[in-house]
Chains A and B, each alone.
Chain A
Protein backbone atom coordinates (compact mmCIF):
# COMPACT_ATOMS: atom_id res chain seq x y z
CA UNK A 1 0.00 0.00 0.00
CA UNK A 2 1.60 3.28 -1.01
CA UNK A 3 1.53 6.56 0.88
CA UNK A 4 -0.75 8.43 -1.50
CA UNK A 5 -3.32 5.68 -1.40
CA UNK A 6 -3.24 5.49 2.39
CA UNK A 7 -3.50 9.23 2.68
CA UNK A 8 -6.43 9.45 0.27
CA UNK A 9 -8.23 6.66 2.07
CA UNK A 10 -7.60 8.23 5.45
CA UNK A 11 -8.96 11.55 4.21
CA UNK A 12 -12.04 9.97 2.70
CA UNK A 13 -12.89 7.93 5.76
CA UNK A 14 -11.69 10.02 8.66
CA UNK A 15 -11.85 13.73 7.81
CA UNK A 16 -15.65 13.79 7.41
CA UNK A 17 -15.88 12.53 11.00
CA UNK A 18 -14.16 15.57 12.45
CA UNK A 19 -17.43 17.02 13.72
CA UNK A 20 -18.17 13.87 15.70
CA UNK A 21 -14.62 13.74 16.97
CA UNK A 22 -14.69 17.34 18.09
CA UNK A 23 -18.10 17.06 19.70
CA UNK A 24 -16.93 14.07 21.75
CA UNK A 25 -13.67 15.75 22.78
CA UNK A 26 -15.44 18.98 23.64
CA UNK A 27 -17.85 17.19 25.97
CA UNK A 28 -15.09 15.22 27.64
CA UNK A 29 -12.69 18.13 28.12
CA UNK A 30 -15.42 20.75 28.79
CA UNK A 31 -13.52 23.50 27.03
CA UNK A 32 -12.71 24.40 23.46
CA UNK A 33 -8.97 24.82 23.73
CA UNK A 34 -8.29 21.39 25.24
CA UNK A 35 -10.80 19.79 22.89
CA UNK A 36 -8.98 21.20 19.86
CA UNK A 37 -5.63 19.92 21.11
CA UNK A 38 -7.11 16.48 21.75
CA UNK A 39 -8.70 16.26 18.31
CA UNK A 40 -5.50 17.27 16.57
CA UNK A 41 -3.44 14.81 18.58
CA UNK A 42 -6.02 12.08 17.94
CA UNK A 43 -6.00 12.64 14.19
CA UNK A 44 -2.24 12.38 14.05
CA UNK A 45 -2.41 9.21 16.13
CA UNK A 46 -5.20 7.84 13.95
CA UNK A 47 -3.05 8.50 10.89
CA UNK A 48 -0.14 6.64 12.45
CA UNK A 49 -2.34 3.70 13.49
CA UNK A 50 -4.23 3.71 10.22
CA UNK A 51 -2.37 0.62 9.03
CA UNK A 52 -4.13 -1.31 11.80
CA UNK A 53 -7.49 -0.12 10.55
CA UNK A 54 -9.22 -2.87 8.58
CA UNK A 55 -11.83 -2.58 5.90
CA UNK A 56 -15.24 -3.12 7.41
CA UNK A 57 -14.32 -1.69 10.82
CA UNK A 58 -16.75 0.91 12.09
CA UNK A 59 -14.85 4.13 11.28
CA UNK A 60 -16.67 6.34 13.72
CA UNK A 61 -16.33 3.98 16.66
CA UNK A 62 -12.65 3.48 15.80
CA UNK A 63 -11.92 7.21 15.71
CA UNK A 64 -14.03 8.01 18.79
CA UNK A 65 -12.15 5.36 20.71
CA UNK A 66 -8.87 7.10 19.89
CA UNK A 67 -10.40 10.44 20.88
CA UNK A 68 -11.53 8.97 24.17
CA UNK A 69 -8.14 7.43 24.96
CA UNK A 70 -6.40 10.68 24.11
CA UNK A 71 -8.75 12.71 26.30
CA UNK A 72 -8.59 10.33 29.22
CA UNK A 73 -4.91 10.81 29.96
CA UNK A 74 -5.16 14.54 30.75
CA UNK A 75 -8.57 13.91 32.33
CA UNK A 76 -7.02 11.34 34.65
CA UNK A 77 -4.35 13.83 35.67
CA UNK A 78 -6.98 16.52 36.21
CA UNK A 79 -8.99 14.15 38.36
CA UNK A 80 -6.00 13.39 40.59
CA UNK A 81 -5.24 17.07 40.99
CA UNK A 82 -8.79 17.86 42.02
CA UNK A 83 -9.04 14.71 44.15
CA UNK A 84 -12.36 14.04 42.51
CA UNK A 85 -14.33 11.31 44.21
CA UNK A 86 -14.61 8.31 41.89
CA UNK A 87 -18.11 7.23 40.95
CA UNK A 88 -19.55 4.39 42.98
CA UNK A 89 -19.20 0.85 41.74
CA UNK A 90 -21.07 0.10 38.54
CA UNK A 91 -22.99 -2.70 40.17
CA UNK A 92 -25.06 -0.20 42.16
CA UNK A 93 -28.69 0.07 41.19
CA UNK A 94 -30.22 3.20 39.79
CA UNK A 95 -30.87 5.20 42.93
CA UNK A 96 -34.57 4.93 43.68
CA UNK A 97 -35.80 5.87 40.25
CA UNK A 98 -39.51 5.36 40.81
CA UNK A 99 -40.85 8.52 42.46
CA UNK A 100 -40.42 10.77 39.45
CA UNK A 101 -43.47 12.78 38.48
CA UNK A 102 -44.03 12.70 34.72
CA UNK A 103 -42.42 15.32 32.53
CA UNK A 104 -41.87 18.31 34.71
CA UNK A 105 -38.63 19.48 33.19
CA UNK A 106 -37.73 23.10 33.66
CA UNK A 107 -39.59 25.23 31.18
CA UNK A 108 -36.55 27.43 30.88
CA UNK A 109 -34.30 24.56 29.86
CA UNK A 110 -32.15 26.42 27.35
CA UNK A 111 -29.21 25.04 25.41
CA UNK A 112 -26.86 26.60 27.97
CA UNK A 113 -28.75 25.17 30.94
CA UNK A 114 -28.88 21.67 29.50
CA UNK A 115 -25.23 21.78 28.46
CA UNK A 116 -24.30 22.85 31.96
CA UNK A 117 -26.34 20.01 33.42
CA UNK A 118 -24.69 17.41 31.17
CA UNK A 119 -21.25 18.81 31.99
CA UNK A 120 -22.01 18.39 35.68
CA UNK A 121 -22.41 14.62 35.27
CA UNK A 122 -19.51 12.30 36.11
CA UNK A 123 -17.45 11.69 32.97
CA UNK A 124 -18.54 8.05 32.59
CA UNK A 125 -22.22 9.02 32.54
CA UNK A 126 -21.56 12.08 30.43
CA UNK A 127 -19.81 10.17 27.68
CA UNK A 128 -22.53 7.51 27.58
CA UNK A 129 -25.20 10.17 27.17
CA UNK A 130 -23.25 12.12 24.57
CA UNK A 131 -22.51 8.98 22.53
CA UNK A 132 -26.12 7.83 22.69
CA UNK A 133 -28.13 11.06 22.49
CA UNK A 134 -25.88 13.32 20.45
CA UNK A 135 -23.89 10.86 18.35
CA UNK A 136 -26.65 8.28 17.97
CA UNK A 137 -24.39 5.29 18.65
CA UNK A 138 -25.89 1.88 19.43
CA UNK A 139 -25.20 0.17 22.77
CA UNK A 140 -22.74 -2.14 21.01
CA UNK A 141 -20.84 0.83 19.53
CA UNK A 142 -20.79 2.63 22.88
CA UNK A 143 -19.47 -0.53 24.46
CA UNK A 144 -16.69 -0.66 21.81
CA UNK A 145 -15.75 3.00 22.24
CA UNK A 146 -15.76 2.99 26.04
CA UNK A 147 -14.54 -0.61 26.44
CA UNK A 148 -17.09 -1.67 29.00
CA UNK A 149 -19.66 -4.49 28.75
CA UNK A 150 -23.15 -3.83 27.36
CA UNK A 151 -24.70 -4.12 30.83
CA UNK A 152 -22.46 -1.32 32.07
CA UNK A 153 -23.39 0.88 29.11
CA UNK A 154 -27.03 0.32 30.00
CA UNK A 155 -26.65 1.14 33.67
CA UNK A 156 -24.50 4.23 32.98
CA UNK A 157 -27.13 5.54 30.61
CA UNK A 158 -29.90 4.88 33.11
CA UNK A 159 -28.07 6.54 35.96
CA UNK A 160 -26.84 9.43 33.82
CA UNK A 161 -30.31 10.14 32.52
CA UNK A 162 -31.77 9.88 35.99
CA UNK A 163 -29.32 12.44 37.37
CA UNK A 164 -29.82 14.69 34.38
CA UNK A 165 -33.56 14.55 34.90
CA UNK A 166 -33.15 15.46 38.55
CA UNK A 167 -31.01 18.48 37.71
CA UNK A 168 -33.26 19.68 34.93
CA UNK A 169 -36.43 19.26 36.94
CA UNK A 170 -34.64 21.38 39.56
CA UNK A 171 -34.70 18.80 42.26
CA UNK A 172 -31.00 18.43 42.47
CA UNK A 173 -28.56 21.31 42.72
CA UNK A 174 -25.69 21.32 40.26
CA UNK A 175 -23.11 21.33 43.02
CA UNK A 176 -24.57 18.34 44.83
CA UNK A 177 -23.84 15.49 42.45
Chain B
Protein backbone atom coordinates (compact mmCIF):
# COMPACT_ATOMS: atom_id res chain seq x y z
CA UNK B 1 0.00 0.00 0.00
CA UNK B 2 1.34 3.46 -0.85
CA UNK B 3 0.72 6.71 1.07
CA UNK B 4 -2.07 7.95 -1.22
CA UNK B 5 -4.04 4.74 -0.72
CA UNK B 6 -3.35 4.95 2.97
CA UNK B 7 -4.71 8.53 3.13
CA UNK B 8 -7.94 7.39 1.53
CA UNK B 9 -8.38 4.82 4.28
CA UNK B 10 -7.70 7.04 7.27
CA UNK B 11 -11.20 8.47 7.55
CA UNK B 12 -13.00 5.14 7.07
CA UNK B 13 -10.60 3.71 9.63
CA UNK B 14 -11.38 6.19 12.40
CA UNK B 15 -15.09 5.91 11.52
CA UNK B 16 -15.03 2.11 11.87
CA UNK B 17 -16.08 1.79 8.25
CA UNK B 18 -12.97 0.07 6.93
CA UNK B 19 -13.46 -3.59 6.09
CA UNK B 20 -11.10 -6.09 7.58
CA UNK B 21 -9.46 -6.98 4.27
CA UNK B 22 -8.34 -3.36 3.87
CA UNK B 23 -7.54 -2.85 7.54
CA UNK B 24 -4.60 -5.26 7.62
CA UNK B 25 -2.45 -3.70 4.86
CA UNK B 26 -3.51 -0.27 6.17
CA UNK B 27 -2.17 -0.99 9.63
CA UNK B 28 0.99 -2.48 8.19
CA UNK B 29 1.62 0.67 6.19
CA UNK B 30 0.97 2.86 9.24
CA UNK B 31 3.58 0.99 11.26
CA UNK B 32 6.20 1.74 8.65
CA UNK B 33 5.24 5.31 7.67
CA UNK B 34 5.55 8.07 10.21
CA UNK B 35 3.95 10.67 7.90
CA UNK B 36 0.77 8.63 7.57
CA UNK B 37 0.90 7.93 11.28
CA UNK B 38 0.98 11.70 11.90
CA UNK B 39 -1.98 12.29 9.63
CA UNK B 40 -3.93 9.63 11.52
CA UNK B 41 -3.01 11.26 14.82
CA UNK B 42 -4.13 14.67 13.63
CA UNK B 43 -7.48 13.18 12.63
CA UNK B 44 -7.84 11.45 15.97
CA UNK B 45 -7.03 14.68 17.79
CA UNK B 46 -9.70 16.47 15.79
CA UNK B 47 -12.19 13.71 16.55
CA UNK B 48 -11.36 13.93 20.27
CA UNK B 49 -11.85 17.69 20.22
CA UNK B 50 -15.24 17.43 18.47
CA UNK B 51 -16.36 14.77 20.95
CA UNK B 52 -15.23 16.75 23.95
CA UNK B 53 -17.19 19.89 23.15
CA UNK B 54 -20.95 20.24 23.31
CA UNK B 55 -21.38 21.31 19.70
CA UNK B 56 -24.94 20.17 19.09
CA UNK B 57 -27.71 22.73 19.10
CA UNK B 58 -30.67 21.93 21.33
CA UNK B 59 -34.15 22.41 19.98
CA UNK B 60 -35.90 25.36 21.71
CA UNK B 61 -38.89 24.23 23.79
CA UNK B 62 -41.07 26.81 22.10
CA UNK B 63 -40.48 25.13 18.72
CA UNK B 64 -41.45 21.70 20.01
CA UNK B 65 -44.69 23.13 21.30
CA UNK B 66 -45.34 25.04 18.10
CA UNK B 67 -44.91 21.95 15.95
CA UNK B 68 -47.12 19.82 18.15
CA UNK B 69 -49.90 22.33 18.01
CA UNK B 70 -49.48 22.64 14.24
CA UNK B 71 -49.92 18.90 13.74
CA UNK B 72 -53.53 18.45 14.86
CA UNK B 73 -54.48 21.04 12.26
CA UNK B 74 -52.91 18.78 9.67
CA UNK B 75 -54.97 15.87 10.99
CA UNK B 76 -58.16 17.90 11.00
CA UNK B 77 -57.67 19.00 7.41
CA UNK B 78 -56.93 15.40 6.44
CA UNK B 79 -60.26 14.46 7.96
CA UNK B 80 -62.05 17.17 6.06
CA UNK B 81 -60.50 16.01 2.84
CA UNK B 82 -61.60 12.46 3.44
CA UNK B 83 -65.15 13.77 3.81
CA UNK B 84 -65.57 12.50 7.34
CA UNK B 85 -68.22 14.35 9.31
CA UNK B 86 -68.86 14.69 12.94
CA UNK B 87 -71.44 12.12 13.98
CA UNK B 88 -72.17 13.58 17.42
CA UNK B 89 -75.89 14.47 17.54
CA UNK B 90 -76.51 18.05 18.68
CA UNK B 91 -78.45 17.09 21.80
CA UNK B 92 -75.55 15.16 23.29
CA UNK B 93 -73.42 18.31 23.62
CA UNK B 94 -75.33 19.84 26.57
CA UNK B 95 -75.42 16.38 28.15
CA UNK B 96 -71.66 16.03 27.79
CA UNK B 97 -71.17 19.49 29.27
CA UNK B 98 -73.40 18.63 32.21
CA UNK B 99 -71.46 15.41 32.78
CA UNK B 100 -68.15 17.26 32.61
CA UNK B 101 -69.37 19.85 35.11
CA UNK B 102 -70.54 17.09 37.42
CA UNK B 103 -67.09 15.51 37.28
CA UNK B 104 -65.35 18.83 37.91
CA UNK B 105 -67.52 19.68 40.91
CA UNK B 106 -67.28 16.11 42.13
CA UNK B 107 -63.50 16.27 42.05
CA UNK B 108 -63.49 19.60 43.86
CA UNK B 109 -65.76 18.15 46.50
CA UNK B 110 -63.47 15.15 46.94
CA UNK B 111 -60.48 17.46 47.05
CA UNK B 112 -62.04 19.53 49.84
CA UNK B 113 -62.75 16.35 51.72
CA UNK B 114 -59.09 15.52 51.42
CA UNK B 115 -59.42 12.41 49.29
CA UNK B 116 -56.56 13.58 47.12
CA UNK B 117 -54.82 15.53 49.83
CA UNK B 118 -51.62 13.88 51.02
CA UNK B 119 -52.65 14.24 54.67
CA UNK B 120 -55.42 11.76 54.10
CA UNK B 121 -53.53 10.02 51.36
CA UNK B 122 -51.79 7.13 53.06
CA UNK B 123 -53.24 4.76 50.52
CA UNK B 124 -51.78 6.97 47.81
CA UNK B 125 -48.35 6.95 49.45
CA UNK B 126 -48.47 3.17 49.46
CA UNK B 127 -49.46 3.19 45.83
CA UNK B 128 -46.52 5.47 45.00
CA UNK B 129 -44.17 3.08 46.79
CA UNK B 130 -45.58 0.02 45.07
CA UNK B 131 -45.27 1.79 41.69
CA UNK B 132 -41.65 2.51 42.55
CA UNK B 133 -40.94 -1.06 43.66
CA UNK B 134 -42.78 -2.54 40.69
CA UNK B 135 -40.71 -0.45 38.31
CA UNK B 136 -37.55 -1.97 39.78
CA UNK B 137 -38.84 -5.56 39.87
CA UNK B 138 -40.52 -5.89 36.54
CA UNK B 139 -37.60 -4.86 34.34
CA UNK B 140 -39.84 -2.09 33.14
CA UNK B 141 -38.04 0.88 34.55
CA UNK B 142 -37.68 2.80 31.30
CA UNK B 143 -39.76 3.19 28.17
CA UNK B 144 -37.42 5.89 26.94
CA UNK B 145 -33.87 5.41 28.17
CA UNK B 146 -32.09 8.72 27.71
CA UNK B 147 -30.01 11.11 29.75
CA UNK B 148 -31.16 13.96 27.56
CA UNK B 149 -34.12 15.91 28.91
CA UNK B 150 -34.90 17.06 25.38
CA UNK B 151 -35.36 13.44 24.32
CA UNK B 152 -37.37 12.41 27.36
CA UNK B 153 -39.80 15.33 27.32
CA UNK B 154 -41.01 15.03 23.71
CA UNK B 155 -41.34 11.26 24.15
CA UNK B 156 -44.44 11.87 26.29
CA UNK B 157 -46.11 13.82 23.53
CA UNK B 158 -49.14 12.00 22.26
CA UNK B 159 -48.97 9.56 25.17
CA UNK B 160 -50.25 11.97 27.78
CA UNK B 161 -52.60 14.91 27.57
CA UNK B 162 -49.98 17.14 29.10
CA UNK B 163 -46.29 17.74 28.71
CA UNK B 164 -44.51 17.11 32.01
CA UNK B 165 -41.60 19.36 33.01
CA UNK B 166 -38.36 17.35 32.60
CA UNK B 167 -35.09 18.48 34.11
CA UNK B 168 -31.70 16.89 34.48
CA UNK B 169 -29.66 17.36 37.66
CA UNK B 170 -26.53 15.44 36.69
CA UNK B 171 -24.36 18.30 37.89
CA UNK B 172 -25.93 18.02 41.33
CA UNK B 173 -25.57 14.24 41.46
CA UNK B 174 -29.06 13.23 40.32
CA UNK B 175 -28.71 11.93 36.81
CA UNK B 176 -31.78 11.71 34.58
CA UNK B 177 -31.73 8.24 33.01
CA UNK B 178 -35.09 8.17 31.26
CA UNK B 179 -38.83 7.99 31.63
CA UNK B 180 -41.87 5.78 31.20
CA UNK B 181 -45.63 5.83 31.44
CA UNK B 182 -47.12 4.64 34.71
CA UNK B 183 -50.52 4.41 36.32
CA UNK B 184 -51.13 6.14 39.61
CA UNK B 185 -54.24 7.10 41.50
CA UNK B 186 -56.44 5.96 38.64
CA UNK B 187 -54.75 7.87 35.87
CA UNK B 188 -51.79 7.75 33.55
CA UNK B 189 -48.81 9.68 34.80
CA UNK B 190 -45.32 10.50 33.59
CA UNK B 191 -42.62 8.70 35.54
CA UNK B 192 -39.17 10.29 35.28
CA UNK B 193 -36.31 8.15 36.46
CA UNK B 194 -33.18 9.52 38.12
CA UNK B 195 -30.11 7.82 39.43
CA UNK B 196 -28.28 8.79 42.61
CA UNK B 197 -25.12 6.67 42.88
CA UNK B 198 -26.61 3.15 42.73
CA UNK B 199 -30.07 4.26 43.84
CA UNK B 200 -33.07 4.89 41.66
CA UNK B 201 -35.52 7.73 42.15
CA UNK B 202 -38.91 7.64 40.49
CA UNK B 203 -40.51 11.05 40.02
CA UNK B 204 -44.20 10.81 39.13
CA UNK B 205 -45.66 13.91 37.51
CA UNK B 206 -49.31 14.68 36.82
CA UNK B 207 -51.40 17.84 36.49
CA UNK B 208 -52.31 18.97 39.95
CA UNK B 209 -55.93 18.80 41.08
CA UNK B 210 -55.71 21.98 43.08
CA UNK B 211 -53.40 24.10 40.92
CA UNK B 212 -51.85 25.45 44.11
CA UNK B 213 -48.17 25.54 44.94
CA UNK B 214 -47.51 23.36 47.94
CA UNK B 215 -44.36 22.83 49.90
CA UNK B 216 -42.72 19.45 50.19
CA UNK B 217 -44.40 16.92 52.45
CA UNK B 218 -42.59 13.77 53.40
CA UNK B 219 -43.63 10.23 54.18
CA UNK B 220 -41.70 7.10 55.00
CA UNK B 221 -42.70 3.47 54.87
CA UNK B 222 -40.91 0.12 54.64
CA UNK B 223 -37.55 1.79 54.20
CA UNK B 224 -38.75 3.99 51.34
CA UNK B 225 -39.03 7.73 51.40
CA UNK B 226 -41.75 9.52 49.52
CA UNK B 227 -42.04 13.25 48.97
CA UNK B 228 -44.95 15.17 47.56
CA UNK B 229 -45.15 18.76 46.31
CA UNK B 230 -47.14 20.92 43.92
CA UNK B 231 -46.00 23.69 41.65
CA UNK B 232 -47.12 25.45 38.50
CA UNK B 233 -50.14 23.26 37.96
CA UNK B 234 -48.32 19.96 38.41
CA UNK B 235 -48.08 17.62 41.34
CA UNK B 236 -44.98 15.59 42.00
CA UNK B 237 -44.35 12.37 43.90
CA UNK B 238 -40.75 11.31 44.39
CA UNK B 239 -40.03 7.81 45.69
CA UNK B 240 -36.71 6.21 46.50
CA UNK B 241 -34.73 4.20 49.00
CA UNK B 242 -32.19 7.01 49.44
CA UNK B 243 -32.35 8.85 52.75
CA UNK B 244 -34.78 11.64 53.40
CA UNK B 245 -32.14 14.41 53.34
CA UNK B 246 -30.92 13.44 49.89
CA UNK B 247 -34.42 13.04 48.52
CA UNK B 248 -35.34 16.44 49.98
CA UNK B 249 -32.30 17.94 48.26
CA UNK B 250 -33.61 16.45 45.03
CA UNK B 251 -37.07 17.92 45.61
CA UNK B 252 -35.55 21.31 46.39
CA UNK B 253 -33.66 21.22 43.09
CA UNK B 254 -36.82 20.38 41.20
CA UNK B 255 -38.72 23.24 42.83
CA UNK B 256 -35.90 25.73 42.54
CA UNK B 257 -35.43 25.21 38.81
CA UNK B 258 -39.06 26.02 38.18
Binding site for B on A (CB under 8 A): 3, 7-8, 10-12, 15-16, 18-19, 21-23, 26-27, 32, 35-36, 39-40, 43-44, 47-48, 93-94, 97-103, 105, 109-111, 114-115, 118, 132-134, 138-139, 154, 157-158, 161, 164-165, 168-169
Q: Contact: B56 with A23, CB < 8 Å? A: yes
User: Are A40 and B67 CB-contacts (below 8 A) given A23-B56, A102-B45, A165-B46?
Assistant: yes
Q: Say if the beta carbon of B245 comes within 8 Å of chain A.
A: no
User: Are A158 and B11 CB-contacts (below 8 A) given A118-B55, A165-B43?
Assistant: yes
Q: Which of B24-32, B132-140, B150-158, B218-226 contacts A (4 or more CB under 8 A)?
A: B150-158
In B164-186, which residues have CB < 8 Å from any A CB?
A: none
Chain B residues contacting A44 (CB-CB under 8 Å) are: 70-71, 74
Q: Contact: A158 with B3, CB < 8 Å? A: no
Most buried by A among B36, B47, B71: B71
Q: Smallest CB-CB separation from A21: which chain B residue?
A: B59
Shortest A94–chain B CB gap in Å is 6
Main SS of the interface on chain B? helix
Main SS of the interface on chain A? helix
Q: In the docked arrangement, what's the CA distance between A118 and B56, Å?
A: 12
Shortest A154–chain B CB gap in Å is 6
7 nearest CB pairs, A to B: A11-B158, A103-B45, A22-B59, A102-B41, A26-B57, A100-B42, A158-B11
Which of B53, B59, B71 is close to A47, meaning CB atoms less than 8 Å apart? B71
Q: Say if the beta carbon of B257 comes within 8 Å of chain A.
A: no
Chain A residues contacting B39 (CB-CB under 8 Å) are: 97-98, 100
Q: Contact: A134 with B42, CB < 8 Å? A: no
User: Are A132 and B15 CB-contacts (below 8 A) given A3-B79, A26-B57, A36-B60?
Assistant: yes
Q: Contact: B67 with A161, CB < 8 Å? A: no
Q: In the docked arrangement, what's the CA distance between A25 and B251, Å?
A: 36
Q: Contact: A15 with B154, CB < 8 Å? A: yes
Chain B residues contacting A12 (CB-CB under 8 Å) are: 158-159
Chain A residues contacting B17 (CB-CB under 8 Å) are: 138-139, 154
Chain B residues contacting A102 (CB-CB under 8 Å) are: 38, 41-42, 45
Q: Contact: B75 with A114, CB < 8 Å? A: no
Q: Say if the beta carbon of B35 comes within 8 Å of chain A.
A: yes
- Additional 6 contacts, C-beta under 8 A, given A16-B154, A19-B56, A134-B56: A7-B158, A18-B59, A22-B57, A35-B57, A48-B74, A118-B55
Shortest B61–chain A CB gap in Å is 10
Q: Smallest CB-CB separation from A43: which chain B residue?
A: B67
Q: Say if the beta carbon of B113 comes within 8 Å of chain A.
A: no
Chain A residues contacting B53 (CB-CB under 8 Å) are: 109-111, 114
Shortest B222–chain A CB gap in Å is 36
Chain B residues contacting A168 (CB-CB under 8 Å) are: 46, 49
Chain B residues contacting A115 (CB-CB under 8 Å) are: 55
User: Can you identify 7 A-B contacts, CB atoms within 8 angstroms?
Assistant: A7-B72, A18-B150, A22-B63, A100-B42, A111-B54, A139-B12, A165-B46
Q: Say if the beta carbon of B212 comes within 8 Å of chain A.
A: no
Q: Contact: A139 with B15, CB < 8 Å? A: yes
